[in-house]
Amino acid sequence: MDILGTTLRICVDDLDTAAAFYEDLTGSSALRFERGGVSVAAVSCFLLMSGPESELEILRKVTATIAVKDVDEAHASLTRVGARILAGPVPTPAGRNLIAIHPDGSVFEYVDRRAAA
């Protein structure tokens, strides 16, 4: 499985203020979207999330988002080495994702940029 990059996940109280800071820091514009009651701003390698605490509590359990070429390939590789798939693959505003728990208990989101079939 080719890992293309990693996104750091940050839960924030004020998405507008946080997005402005990270835009200034990175020189990148935020890609904004909503998902499951959570407002998201993707700025460079930072994924800022704001919303109800009940939703953020779940999102905080995911250590990082890992970009891969193909989520289906990641699914096969993860399953082969003993990871357990918790959710997905499912379509997202930016491609497809899945959530997996590694044998050590770490939880990661894997994403690709492929459109849903």
Q: Are strands 31-35 and 38-43 parallel, antiparallel or unpaired?
A: antiparallel
**CATH assignment of 3-112, among 3.10.180.10, 3.40.50.10860, 3.30.1390.20, 3.40.605.10:** 3.10.180.10
- Whether the pTM exceeds 0.85: the reply is no
Q: How many CB atoms lie within 10 A of CB 80?
A: 9
Q: Is 36 left (phi over 0), alpha (psi -120 to 50) or beta?
A: left
Domain boundaries, the chain: 3-112
User: Which pLDDT belongs to residue 11?
Assistant: 95
What is the SS3 assignment for 24?
A: helix
Q: What is the mean pLDDT of each run of 10 residues along the chain (117 residues)?
A: 91 97 97 90 95 92 93 96 95 88 95 74
